Amino acid sequence: MRHIQNRKHHSDHMGPERAVTERGITTMAYIAEYIWIDGTEPTAKLRSKAQVIADDKEPGIWGFDGSSTNQATGDQSDVVLNPVLVTPDPIRGGNNKLVMCETLLTDMSPHPTNTRAKCAASAEQYSNLDTWFGLEQEYTFFEGNSPLGWPDNGFPAPQGGYYCGVGSEEIFGREVVNAHLQACIDAGLHIAGINAEVMPGQWEFQIG
């Protein structure tokens, strides 16, 4: 476990001045935002941390304190971040990157919260088949304690015109939805589409 701790401590102390300067020679650098799924129950959350990396280097294995994400105990808190997909960062822009990671134990075996590992094994086992994989994610915008577009008192009109609707009287949050769609495209994700759902402020996007 010591080798993971040493790598983590070294990385955490690498400020921008260390990343862009080596032996007195200034080099360009980018920001890599490492993203992973934590161990929060019943619904896991996304976590992220950023590292400054020299332009001639690729994002490598990193680590984090799993005792703070419900993925380890305090006496053995190291969890490994293993990059599985690197995409352009559409928020920061430039040559900055998003680094999608799976979590590993310090012996480099899959962490118990790493459900991707079993999916990857199945994909490898049936790689000769034309497998399709996709997901739909529904979500609702809130303004204060109420869904976006709901009246201050009471409830909106019954569903009917909201689903795949148009117009400012039935559709709310489209500016954010369009910005999210463009960000996914810029990141190179296989986003397939978006649509308004059956309730004011409710939307859906599809990946795959």
Q: Quickly count: other Cβ atoms within 10 Å of residue 4's Cβ.
A: 19
Is there a domain that residue 130 lies in?
no
State the CATH number of the domain containing residue 83. 3.10.20.70
Question: Which residue among 50, 83, 114 closes a domain?
Answer: 114
What is the pLDDT, as a whole number, of residue 5?
A: 41
What's the structural domain count of the chain? 2
Separation of alpha carbons 94 and 30, rounded Å: 8
Cis peptide before 42 (omega within 30 of 0): yes
Q: Quickly count: other Cβ atoms within 10 Å of residue 3's Cβ.
A: 10
**What does the pLDDT look like over 85-103, one tens digit per residue?**
999 999 999 999 999 999 9
3-state secondary structure of 182: helix
Question: Which residue among 114, 146, 170 closes a domain?
Answer: 114
Domain span at 175: 135-207
Helices (H) and strands (E) in the chain, counts: 4, 12
The answer to whether residues 11 and 67 belong to one domain is: yes
Is there a domain that residue 161 lies in?
yes
Which pLDDT band, with edges at 50, 70 and 90, does 22 fall under? low
Is there a domain that residue 165 lies in?
yes
The answer to whether residues 46 and 99 belong to one domain is: yes
Answer yes or no: is pLDDT of 153 > 60.
yes
Is there a domain that residue 123 lies in?
no
The answer to whether residues 11 and 54 belong to one domain is: yes
